[in-house]
Amino acid sequence: MIDERVQQLIDKGAIFYASHSGGKDSQDMYNEVSKYIPPDQIVVVHADLGEVEWVGVQDHIRSVIQHPLNIVGAKKTFLGMVEQRGMWPSAAYRQCTSDLKRGPIFKFIRNDLKARGTSIAVNCMGIRAEESTARAKKEPFRYNKAESCGHRDVWDWMPIFDRTTEQVFQSIAEAGQEPFWAYSDGNERLSCVFCIMGSVNDLQHGAKCNPELYRKYVELERKIGHTMFTKGKNPISLEEHTGISIDDLERR
């Protein structure tokens, strides 16, 4: 049953912006939103990460939604941002999320609201409590003070916040869909090919599927003298972390 607060926003004509990464949680979130929100009040938006996102992810999104896909992006690139700063993002300083995802998406929301002549937005995200301790502390429905102002009200909504990974995959199957191919091929989660929050398994899979991109990451680590990961408090190269050298990978 839908949250009473969400129903009130529907009745007020709010536009529900489904932020779709192409991952399983975004896919399930969109399907859930589509059950309750009138189709003309849903807008799907994807933050294009360029060469560091999985090839084919945008085509996958289009294949599992019933709305046009709005593509947004920052002027900067992920690897360019890292090189300019001389450091990789970290769990505590996730510039990739703020600059390459959240920033462009909220800019789109502001402009789209203005073009529609309306003032209420709901930012829908596929965030789940099970993913991490930090995410478990989030409020699944809250007023976004930072994005709201005198002429605009923005809410954040996480429709599948309490679902388990198993429930997400089950829900996608029940909708007659399949998740992005990388999951069945070995990935545990989907974000950038080489995400700072990714497991060793996902990084290894990313390297095997994207050897040229892997080389760029390894070479950038060497160039800036800063590594993506640490072992304890000590820096560890991406090659050491994954156990895959670029030379061995390219000889396969």
Percent of the chain with pLDDT over 90: 88
CA distances from 86 to 69, 91, 147, 194, 229 (A): 34, 16, 30, 17, 14
Give the Cβ contact number of residue 9 at 10 Å.
21
- Mean pLDDT to the nearest integer, 228-250: 90
Could you give the strand order of the β-sheet that contains 69-72, starting from the edge strand earlier in sequence? 69-72, 42-47, 15-19, 120-124, 153-157, 141-143
* DSSP E strand stretches across the chain: 15-19, 42-47, 69-72, 120-124, 141-143, 153-157, 229-231, 234-236
- List pLDDT tens digits, range 7-62: 999 999 999 999 999 999 999 999 999 999 999 999 999 999 999 999 999 999 99
Instruction: Judge whether 176 lies within some domain.
Output: no
Domain with 78 in it = 4-165
Nearest CA among 141, 156, 152, 66 for reference residue 102: 156
- The pairing of beta strand 69-72 with beta strand 229-231: unpaired
72 compared with 1, residue with greater pLDDT: 72
Check whether 251 has a pLDDT greater than 80.
no
Instruction: Judge whether 238 lies within some domain.
Output: no
The average confidence (pLDDT) of the chain is 95
Domain of 157, CATH number, reads: 3.40.50.620
Nearest CA among 105, 104, 96 for reference residue 19: 105
- List pLDDT tens digits, range 116-161: 999 999 999 999 999 988 889 999 999 999 999 999 999 999 999 9
Whether 63 contacts 89, CB under 8 Å: no
Instruction: Judge whether 224 lies within some domain.
Output: no
Instruction: Judge whether 53 lies within some domain.
Output: yes
Check whether 252 has a pLDDT greater than 70.
no
Domains held by the chain: number:
1
Instruction: Judge whether 239 lies within some domain.
Output: no
Give the Cβ contact number of residue 143 at 10 Å.
12
Instruction: Judge whether 149 lies within some domain.
Output: yes
